[in-house]
Amino acid sequence: MVILKGFLFFILFCISVLMSAALAHDASEKVLAKKIFGNFLTPTKLKSESIGKYNKGCLNGGVELPVKGETWQHINSKRGRNWGHPRLINFTKDLSQKVAEFGWIGLYIGDLGNPRGGPTPYGHAAHQVGLEVDIKFRKPATLDLSVKDSHNDHRYGKPSFKEMNVVSKNQKNVNSNWTQEHMNILKAAAQDERVNKIFVNAAIKVWMCKNAGSADRSWLMKIRPERGHSEHFHVRLKCPEGSPDCVNTPLWNKYKNVDGCDKQLAWWVTDRLKPKKKVIKKTVEIKKKFKCAHARCYLPEELPKACLKTMHVEN
């Protein structure tokens, strides 16, 4: 009996060693972080914690947002990017219930993040620490779309889900798809104390600045102009308690006004849209090596050290 127990212990020890070897990261292989984190199907079983910067980090103890709920439906669920910190999951559910006040049955939810956060295989620079979610501008008529009808990613076949663009072709104004209901939803999200920033197309913020009224306008500072974002808005939450290695981004307190409706905003819909002048570059004999600083190029060792543990920990 003693010999049998010893033999079983030896077998378990060998299995443990083999599993550790399989999980070990070999830096010499130069496997991109996006490929590693994009392949995880499950979160870690560690306590929930956001690690690093929004565009350079990872997530422990991720929670899954169900594809469908009473007041939401996740779009492009085949991507598997419906994971986040519990704070993000709760916020998303709360906002999807809040929109009933504005005549909506719920929300179409876009990407959150990978089960363990980190860089996504394509599509985002941020969405890495489980605190960001994309929310569609399209008003739901139903929250029971089939998997086929709820995707618009060509990687999974011909797109079926139709996005709603609320910005004009000249990128200077909103179009007829934009409604007061959209602003009400954005305002409700911005007034949530959990929110750090909300990214929208600049034309949207221009309209909001003109139509927000003269009462408290401080919430408008959280609405930030960004390229794209004409079919969805991107919510970023503040770092939660219990995540000491999470790095908040500042709310640009250099502005003298309280709403961010200023010359910098005007630049987005004027000078930024002007055609760029062609610059003839002189031939340089010695070519400098190009260093990619985008999330799509990160190696695992370029992420916070704690993310290496997130990569290697067993399910």
Better-scored residue on pLDDT, 155 or 65? 65
Which range of 63-77, 279-293, 300-314 scores highest in mean pLDDT? It is: 63-77
Which amino acid is it at 293?
A
Sign, CA torsion 178/183/188/191: positive
Confidence of residue 313 (pLDDT cuts 50, 70, 90): confident
245 Cα distance to chain centroid: 18
Domain boundaries, the chain: 25-273+299-312
Whether 147 contacts 73, CB under 8 Å: no
Q: Look at residue 162 and tell me whether its pLDDT is greater than 50.
A: yes
Confidence of residue 6 (pLDDT cuts 50, 70, 90): very low
- Backbone φ and ψ of 174, nearest 5°: -80, 160
Q: 69 pairs with which residues across the strands? A: 72
- Quick one: pLDDT at residue 296? 86
Radius of gyration (Cα) for the chain, nearest Å? Answer: 23
Q: Look at residue 221 and tell me whether its pLDDT is greater than 80.
A: yes
Q: Look at residue 255 and tell me whether its pLDDT is greater than 60.
A: yes
- Give the mean model confidence (pLDDT) for residues 294-299: 88
DSSP string, 16-80: HHHHHHHH---GGG---HHHHHTT--S--SSPPEEEEETTEEEEES-EEPPSEETTEEESSGGG-
Buried b (16+ CB within 10 A) or exposed e, 216-226: ebebbbbbbbb
The third-level CATH classification (topology) of the domain covering 25-273+299-312 is Muramoyl-pentapeptide Carboxypeptidase; domain 2 (3.30.1380)
- Quick one: pLDDT at residue 7? 43
What is this structure's pTM? 0.86
- Quick one: pLDDT at residue 17? 35
Of all residues in the chain, the percent with pLDDT exceeding 90 is 70
Whether 192 contacts 99, CB under 8 Å: no
Selection from 116, 114, 115 nearest residue 124 by Cα: 114
Of all residues in the chain, the percent with pLDDT exceeding 70 is 84
Which amino acid is it at 23?
L
- Quick one: pLDDT at residue 281? 64
- Burial bucket for residue 158 (CB in 10 Å: 0-12, 13-18, 19+): exposed
Q: Look at residue 46 and tell me whether its pLDDT is greater than 60.
A: yes
Per residue in 88-140, pLDDT (tens digit) is: 999 999 999 999 999 999 999 999 999 999 999 888 889 999 999 999 999 99
Q: Look at residue 220 and tell me whether its pLDDT is greater than 80.
A: yes
255 Cα distance to chain centroid: 26
Selection from 192, 118, 122, 109 nearest residue 153 by Cα: 122
Measured between its terminal Cα atoms, the distance across the chain in Å is 32
- Quick one: pLDDT at residue 152? 84
Whether 131 contacts 144, CB under 8 Å: no
Q: How many CA atoms lie within 13 A of 302 on its CB side?
A: 17
Torsion of CA 139, 141, 145, 150, to 10 degrees: -30
Q: Look at residue 10 and tell me whether its pLDDT is greater than 50.
A: no
Q: How far apart are alpha carbons 272 and 277 in whole angstroms?
A: 12
Better-scored residue on pLDDT, 177 or 215? 177
- Backbone φ and ψ of 169, nearest 5°: -60, -30
- Quick one: pLDDT at residue 227? 93
Which range of 145-159, 237-251, 283-297 scores highest in mean pLDDT? It is: 237-251
